[in-house]
Amino acid sequence: MLTPEDARLIERLHGNFPLVDRPYAAVGEELGWSEDQVINRIGMLLSQGVLTRFGPLFQIERAGGQFLLAAMAVPEGRYEEITRTVNSFPEIAHNYRRDHELNMWFVIAAESPRQASSVAAAIESETGLQVAVFPKEEEFFVELRLQPLSVRY
């Protein structure tokens, strides 16, 4: 269950993360916590699934890399097997099922466009299924800022 302290921490971490030598200490000072308390609490929220990810977002193309959206039409009887195969590649950022002819969608996060293409080709080779790729044509920045919720017990 989300405590009022958890809600305060999440609200503080949502944007404007301090760019200082010890950012967790700076956040802790604002909240009246120690640096270790902040780090431990984030770890606990991640392990509980309250937070699914905590980290920066990069414009990978500026560093020479590529995020490549990909999809496959996976037969239902092979879905678990194919999921394991696709997820075994360290370049797979996430993988999800859709109610669509292309029912498996995933993102390849690679250090170069060539590596991204190689991963897609390797997945095709290992699964025997065609991988449809959808390179980014245009980038949009949309920030979702949620209003803090009151926590009830």
Does pTM surpass 0.75? no
User: pLDDT tens for residues 91-150?
Assistant: 998 899 999 999 999 999 999 999 999 999 999 999 999 999 998 888 777 666 666 555
Of all residues in the chain, what percent carry a pLDDT higher than 70? 92
CA dist list (Å): 21 to 17, 18, 111, 121, 124: 12, 9, 27, 41, 44
Domain ranges of the chain: 4-48, 60-135
What pLDDT, on a 0 to 100 scale, did the predictor assign at position 14? 83
Residue 103 CA to residue 95 CA, distance in Å, equals 10
Residue 49 CA to residue 93 CA, distance in Å, equals 17
DSSP 15-34: S----SS-HHHHHHHHHT--
**By C-alpha distance, which of 122, 121, 127, 125 is closest to 104?**
127
Helix (H) or strand (E) holding 45: helix 35-48
CA dist list (Å): 115 to 5, 20, 90, 108, 135: 43, 33, 12, 9, 13
The structural architecture, per CATH, of the domain 60-135 is 2-Layer Sandwich (3.30)
